[in-house]
Structure 1
């Protein structure tokens, strides 16, 4: 399979979460991808532990009240951008980039102080994409 070239920022779609063409920063220094999350709560539902969460910013009216629920999640210890270890929830979803759909994992974290709500790590792009740091939004340019 030929690898597509992506830029340092790309637009991605997360169809299961109803997010279309949102900007994500590519970070080859990060192993796991992460997404800004404003709310998490673990509850038992019909005897199954379930994670309820809200991704992206609460001031983004389009996604303001969308609560997502899954019983398919884990917890992962990661080093944040400040080098501190923290435990985060990790969830899976479908991602569409360059009109190609694949499964990806995201850790849920507060990225409110970061410029980009979504960070794409090496695990998501490994074997599929090459990164050209001089470019942005190559997925949009490829459609023209």
Structure 2
């Protein structure tokens, strides 16, 4: 008899990492009402050949430390029209990257957008959640805090 893995319970906000992008600690809002995930990005630039486009962008991963800036680069999967929570339609650059939450890692798709003025630099939508994950909307930060000190070590 095989044992089912223990469910991973997430709060409505969690510390996550995007290791392929060099983002070691970022607060994400877990939103099961949102289909797609989004990452606040600035200075977005598409480059490379049309057959294999890439995208470069600037991330300020810590709202409380605006001086921390990380340049990221990823393969561009495409551009998709996404409807925001307030009903506005926007074309977003879509990338794929690894998400690290607790002791688990898996690939997700992310839309790059301007989340300036919002409380979280990242929104984790339901497509990024895996089977066996539960969200407790009454709780926040159920998983260990990730260290922002790693940004200084890679600066």
Q: TM-score, normalised by structure 1?
A: 0.85
Establish whether residue 34 from structure 1 lines up as the match of residue 34 from structure 2. no
Give the aligned CA root-mean-square deviation in angstroms. 2.2
Establish whether residue 94 from structure 1 lines up as the match of residue 127 from structure 2. no
Aligned-residue offset at 1:51:
1.6
Q: 1:82-103 CA deviation, whole Å, 9 max, x = no partner? A: 2011110011111111111111
C-alpha contact 2:22 2:72 (8 A) present in aligned 1 = no
Q: Which stretch has the larger CA shift, 46-55 or 127-136? A: 46-55
Unaligned regions of 5+ residues in structure 1, if any?
none
Unaligned regions of 5+ residues in structure 2, if any?
146-155
Identify which of 23, 29, 49 aligns with 2:27. Answer: 23
Q: TM-score, normalised by structure 2?
A: 0.79
Q: In the aligned structure 1, how far is the partner of 2:140 from the partner of 2:61?
A: 22
Q: In the aligned structure 2, how far is the partner of 1:85 from the partner of 1:46?
A: 25
Q: 1:7-53 CA deviation, whole Å, 9 max, x = no partner? A: 00000011112222321101111011101011111223597432221
1:137–1:101: structure 2 CA closer, same or farther, 3 Å change rule?
A: same
Give the count of matched residue pairs. Answer: 139
Aligned to 1:62, the other structure's residue is in SS state coil
Aligned-residue offset at 1:67:
2.6
Q: 1:105-141 CA deviation, whole Å, 9 max, x = no partner? A: 1100000021111100001114141100111111128
Identify which of 71, 94, 99 aligns with 1:67. Answer: 71
| Runs of 4+ off more than 2 Å | 43-50, 55-62, 66-73
Q: In the aligned structure 2, how far is the partner of 1:109 from the partner of 1:77?
A: 12
